[in-house]
């Protein structure tokens, strides 16, 4: 088969009407989210004067919902109509984010409100993400799941390139509060496209439901009872813990320690995020070349040099260069890793268990992030933000070990659902 023919086949999924609506919705919200990802911490630092500990607290509030409701969310999503969950999540996030520019305009904006909004947005994200990953296999054929994940990753990567630079420009022109308002509008646009999906998913009948703890337990046993999934969860969880420590410190480190302005930060992050787009495009080829199984530990190992560059910024490496190259390497590795392992677990899981499987994994890999944010804030306040980045570089190496020293490194092909279920 020709290369062109292979490429055409891989993008056939965009011809599926319902997947195309999901793709448009995701594209709009991804671009909008890049605005608030930069604008909210900039608002906290520059308008409300937040310190390192408060920035760690903000990160904790963003992710605490994954720890508190992460497990039951999967069982609930499996009982509900996923389309309704997605639309409701988008609308609630639009309202919460829209309250920030309104409060700023009225002169009522406080750091407590920013924390509350972060909590609401994070809670909506728990349910949205579980439903989103569980909905995709219902909209496409089983053989298109990997292609669908790669297609969804591409606009996210493009948004990561253009979004931060555009956000920096918007913050410079209209300020951080109004830039957050643009993200609120993007969630409304996402809700409109999801509403156009024709597929009507039907939850299981009420009489077939079992106690919530039984259904949650099934999801946990499926994930931690599978030796490959358990190692992937360990790698992702450790990596997310350390990435949340640096995520809490990134804006304050760049603005205060490295003396960069918001526009420079946005441009550097945008250029660096080109690695994510390259990763989305390269993942199918890497899977074909070295195999799905080996792609997971190899991509995890690429995190390490990316993490080591940031603490060197402003010392032996110019700040902008360190930020761009670190972002590029990290984005490439994370996208390749995520597309491969998410496609694997979606394909592996029985359909009725998808929501609980995704929720069980996210309970662990995202549930560690509020602790990471708090640790980053405490360490940053006591020893400086640069120390947090050095610790995270060691953490990146630690995160890669569960998949490096595993059967994955020797596997070309990953098991299918039939292999597991017999």
- For residue 10, name the pLDDT band (cuts at 50, 70, 90): low
Choose from 73-82, 325-334, 360-369, 384-393 the range with maximum mean pLDDT: 384-393
CB 264 within 8 A of CB 382: no
Per mean pLDDT, which of 57-61, 69-73, 330-334 is the most reliable? Answer: 57-61
Asked whether the beta carbons of 274 and 370 are under 8 A apart, the reply is no
335, 336, 342, 347: CA torsion to nearest 10: 150
pLDDT digits (tens, 9 = 90+) for 304-320: 998 999 999 988 899 98
Residue 161 reports pLDDT greater than 80: no
Sign of the alpha-carbon torsion through 258, 262, 265, 268: negative
List the CATH code of the domain at 16-196+211-421: 1.20.1250.20
- The answer, as to whether pTM is greater than 0.95, is no
Q: Tokens for 270? A: 């945008």
- Per-residue pLDDT, 358: 73
Asked if 171 contacts 39 with a C-beta cutoff of 8 angstroms, the reply is yes
Q: Nearest Cα to 75, choosing from 306, 354, 297, 325?
A: 354
* H-only helix segments in 175-291: 176-194, 212-224, 227-252, 262-272, 274-290
- pLDDT value at residue 421: 36
In 2-69, alpha helices (H): 3-10, 17-42, 52-68
> To the nearest whole percent, how much of the chain has pLDDT over 90?
35
Tokens, residue 289:
């070349």
Domain definitions of the chain by residue range:
16-196+211-421
- pLDDT tens for each residue of 367-384: 899 999 999 999 999 999
> pLDDT-based confidence at 402, cuts 50/70/90?
very high
Whether 412 has a pLDDT exceeding 60, the answer reads yes
Mutual angle of helices 319-348 and 111-139, in 10-degree steps = 40
């Amino acid at each position: 088969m020709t290369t062109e023919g292979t490429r055409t086949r891989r993008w056939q999924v965009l011809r599926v009407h319902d997947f195309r609506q999901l793709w448009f919705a995701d594209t709009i919200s991804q671009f909008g989210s890049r605005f608030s990802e930069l604008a909210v911490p900039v608002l906290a630092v520059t308008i409300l004067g937040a310190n390192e500990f408060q920035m760690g607290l903000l990160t904790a509030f963003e992710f605490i919902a994954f720890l508190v409701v992460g497990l039951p969310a999967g069982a609930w999503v499996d009982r509900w109509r996923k389309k309704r969950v997605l639309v409701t999540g988008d609308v609630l996030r639009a309202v919460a984010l829209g309250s920030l520019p309104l409060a700023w305009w009225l002169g009522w904006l406080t750091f407590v409100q920013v924390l509350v909004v972060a909590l609401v947005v994070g809670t909506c994200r728990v349910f949205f993400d579980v439903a989103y990953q569980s909905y995709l296999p219902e909209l496409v054929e089983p053989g298109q799941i990997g292609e669908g994940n790669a297609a969804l990753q591409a606009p996210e990567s493009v948004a990561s390139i253009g979004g931060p630079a555009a956000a920096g420009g918007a913050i410079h022109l209209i300020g951080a509060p109004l830039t957050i308002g643009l993200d609120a509008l993007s969630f409304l646009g996402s809700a409109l496209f999801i509403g156009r999906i024709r597929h009507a998913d039907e939850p299981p009948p009420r009489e077939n439901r079992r106690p919530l703890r039984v259904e949650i337990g099934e999801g946990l046993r499926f994930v931690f009872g599978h030796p490959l999934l358990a190692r992937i969860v360990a790698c992702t969880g450790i990596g997310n813990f350390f990435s949340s420590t640096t995520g809490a410190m990134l804006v304050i480190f760049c603005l205060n320690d490295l003396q960069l302005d918001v526009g420079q930060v946005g441009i550097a992050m945008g250029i660096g995020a080109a690695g994510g787009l390259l990763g989305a495009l390269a993942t199918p080829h890497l899977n074909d070349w070295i195999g799905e199984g080996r792609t997971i530990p190899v991509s995890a190992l690429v995190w390490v040099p990316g993490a080591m560059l940031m603490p060197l910024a402003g010392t032996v490496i110019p700040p902008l260069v360190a930020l761009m190259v670190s972002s590029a390497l990290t984005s490439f590795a994370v996208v390749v890793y995520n597309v491969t392992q998410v496609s694997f677990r979606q394909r592996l899981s029985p359909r009725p268990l998808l929501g609980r499987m995704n929720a069980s994994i996210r309970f662990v890999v995202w549930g560690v992030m509020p602790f990471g944010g708090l640790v980053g804030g405490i360490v940053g306040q006591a020893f400086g933000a640069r120390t947090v980045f050095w610790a995270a570089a060691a953490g990146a190496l630690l995160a890669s070990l569960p998949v490096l020293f595993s059967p994955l490194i020797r596997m070309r092909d990953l098991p299918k659902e039939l292999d597991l279920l017999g």
